[in-house]
Structure 1
Amino acid sequence: MEDLIDRIAADAGVEPGIAKKAVGMILLFLRSEGPKDEIQSLFAAVPGAAEAADEAANENGSGAFSGGLMGLAGQLTGLGLGMGEMQTFGREVFAYVREKAGDELVGEIVSAIPGLRQFL
């Protein structure tokens, strides 16, 4: 997971701490909004993904994610990210997941969450 965070921080031009929080938020969003079986497969294939989502849930205070895609965008904006940076984060997270879990799984997840494709 550290290699993903370092890659995103460099590509988006943000501090690694911000990248780590954003990746955790994205993974928490996927766990909350995505198809359960596919997300379990994603977390099994991507070392550290479940832990990153858990950390984001703990920081969130409620232990869960709410608000759908717009809620995620609001939280990422709260970290100081603009739309371009959000798209960079989305592309990098899903490229990383593709490397670890394959195109088919990513396609199933993206297809199941309305509006997600626009951030990739």
Structure 2
Amino acid sequence: MEDLTRRVVDSTSLEPSIAKAAIGHVLLFLRDKAPGSHVDEFIDKMQGAREAVAAAQAADDGGVTQAIEGLTSFMGHGRADLNILVGKLGNLGLTEAQSARLIEEMVDRAKALIGDEGVAKIRAILPALAERSGVMPQQPGAMGETRPRA
């Protein structure tokens, strides 16, 4: 977790505490979207990740989550869940570019910990998040390709 936090700080210029909180929110989102999957393996293999997820669960967002959840019956859960996450990252002060870099760093770390198959499963969860934050997910075989840094 410390390595990922440092990489996110270096690529986004976020404060370490903000970067760690943002990582926790994304991990929580991924875990909720795919319980019992490679996301759990990713969390298990990254020391400190469980604590970051727990902190994200406990964070109060001033009622934003409840307001958006109230709309899920009209919008469908997938898009509303994504909007909740984007709102939480925004409340932490992340810009779209910082959110995009955060996602890229997390996918890179996941590849190192759980391999291509695990990353492919995580990427299957990320398309709407990546689209919303300005990063289009790469195909599973494209992980070794160089991506431009924001």
Query: TM-score scaled by structure 2?
Result: 0.69
Whichever residue aligns with residue 45 of structure 2, its letter is A
In 2, are the aligned partners of 1:23 and 1:89 still within 8 Å (CA)? Answer: yes
- Tell me which residue corresponds to 1:104: 117
CA positional deviation for 1:117: 4.1
* More relative contact order, 1 or 2 (CA 8 Å, 6+ apart): 1
Whichever residue aligns with residue 120 of structure 2, its letter is G
Whichever of the two has the greater Rg, that structure is 2
- Tell me which residue corresponds to 2:8: 8
In 1, are the aligned partners of 2:30 and 2:125 still within 8 Å (CA)? Answer: no
CA–CA distance in structure 1, aligned partners of residues 60 and 129 of structure 2:
21
% identical aligned pairs: 33
In 2, are the aligned partners of 1:29 and 1:72 still within 8 Å (CA)? Answer: yes
Say if 2:53 is the partner of 1:53: yes
CA RMSD, aligned part only? Answer: 2.3
In 1, are the aligned partners of 2:100 and 2:130 still within 8 Å (CA)? Answer: no
Task: Give the total of aligned pairs.
Answer: 118
Q: Secondary structure at the match of 2:47?
A: coil
- Tell me which residue corresponds to 1:17: 17
- Tell me which residue corresponds to 1:85: 98
CA positional deviation for 1:46: 2.4
**Consecutive unaligned residues in structure 1, runs of 5 or more:** none
Q: Secondary structure at the match of 1:81?
A: coil
**Consecutive unaligned residues in structure 2, runs of 5 or more:** 62-68, 70-79, 138-150
CA positional deviation for 1:54: 1.2
Query: TM-score scaled by structure 1?
Result: 0.84
Whichever residue aligns with residue 11 of structure 1, its letter is S
Alignment of 1:34-49 (within 5 A): 34-49=34-49
CA–CA distance in structure 2, aligned partners of residues 79 and 112 of structure 1:
22
Query: What CA deviation, in whole Å up to 9, does each residue of 1:23-82 have, x standing for no partner?
Result: 111111111112532222222332222221112112248xxxx64111111110111111
